Amino acid sequence: MRTDNRVRRARDFFRAAAFVAVGSCLAMSCGNLRKQAADEVVAVHPVGPAFNADSAYLFCQQQCDFGPRTMNSEAHDLCEQWIIGKFEGYGLTVQTQKATLRGYDGTPLRSTNIIATYKPELTDRILLCAHWDSRPWADNDPDEANWKKPVLAANDGASGVAVMLEIARLLSSSAPQVGIDFVCFDAEDWGTPQWSDADDTGDTWALGAQHWAEVFDSRRASDGINYRFGILLDMVGGEGAQFYQEGMSLQYASAVVDRVWKAAQTVGFGSMFPAQPGGYITDDHIPLNRVAKIPTIDIIPYYPTCEQSSFGPTWHTVSDDMSHIDRNTLRAVGQTIVQVLFSLSATE
């Protein structure tokens, strides 16, 4: 999936021209928005229900209680059923998209994309997504002895799903005027490890999203679904996180970036969403933009001063656990998404 300035790949660097420092990294190791288009409908005051960060934190913890949700594992299978049950419990219609995908080394991966639908009768929809699998190898850990240990993935996996589940819970009592699909992508984090000699052209990441995009593209005409836009949530619970405007998101869906960063400012979290460019990331939003042709952005943190990783000190390490999940980060992202959804009109 990722691009990080420490990873040994040709694509592995950040190309943003300018950044401002966000202060020091975590103790362990470390505005001005574009003018909205005249025809864009964006609420200028907070709307929608309050996002409950304690609830999202619990959803994150409950996923981690299964252990690392690595591909082909019992923990993976058990967590799949738990996620399905949570969405169904909030009244959403759930479908699964199963496929055997191939890892970078040829390993068959039993993959399940989980698709939870709110207001399935509407063809005009919004796409919210996150990946739910765990990285099998802590290949960016500062201790080489940990490089082949699995990652618990509290932030890099569970946090995005947790935010989506809390939003789904809120929908059971509050109703925005649009259809919403929550897609939990699988097999995102099986990309070529840093310790491998195998070539990595970038397509070993986001395997579940690649599959979903190909299926959607092949059925586009018959299904008649129109996605206005998509928002990918990746690593949205970490301590000290700030969410710069990711480069590929700006390239493919700048209007969506504008909308989301304006929403963050409106609900009081503008300082956590700097209106400045971030890195160019290989993530689940790439096939959604390129193959499915859905303008999709990536809400993903950027730590410009963190020596361990530009994604923060816990990225692809054994330290990606609940002790480094911050309720305020979950709240900032969750309330921003609520603002976006409840600002939309049925006819926009």
* CB of 213 closer than 8 Å to CB of 252: no
- Helices and strands, counts by H and E, the chain: 7, 6
Q: Tell me which of 19-28, 34-43, 157-166 is least confident.
A: 19-28
Classify the C-alpha dihedral 308-23-311-322 as positive or negative: positive
Split at pLDDT 50, 70, 90, the class of 1 is low
What digits encode the pLDDT tens for the residues 234-259? 999 999 999 999 999 999 999 999 99
Q: Is 80 exceeded by the pLDDT of residue 37? A: no
Mean pLDDT of the residues in the chain = 89
| Res 221: pLDDT | 75
Structural tokens at position 274: 């700097």
* CB of 260 closer than 8 Å to CB of 297: yes
**Cβ density class 39-71: b for 16+ within 10 Å, e for less:** eeebbeeebbeebbbebbbebbebbbebbbbbb
Q: How many CB atoms lie within 10 A of CB 201?
A: 12
| Res 186: pLDDT | 98
Q: Is 70 exceeded by the pLDDT of residue 201? A: yes
Phi and psi at residue 238, to the nearest 5°: -80, 150
Q: What is the pTM of this model?
A: 0.90
Structural tokens at position 169: 């819970």
What digits encode the pLDDT tens for the residues 261-317? 999 999 999 999 999 999 999 999 999 999 999 999 999 999 999 999 999 999 999
| Res 65: pLDDT | 98
Structural tokens at position 283: 């993530």
* CB of 57 closer than 8 Å to CB of 162: yes
3-state secondary structure of 320: coil
Which residues, including other chains, have CB under 8 Å from residue 320's CB and lie 6 or more apart? 138, 151, 152, 153, 154, 155, 156, 314
| Res 223: pLDDT | 83
| Res 63: pLDDT | 98
Could you tell me the end-to-end alpha-carbon distance of the chain, in angstroms, rounded to an integer?
33
- Sole residue written with tokens 């409106």: 266
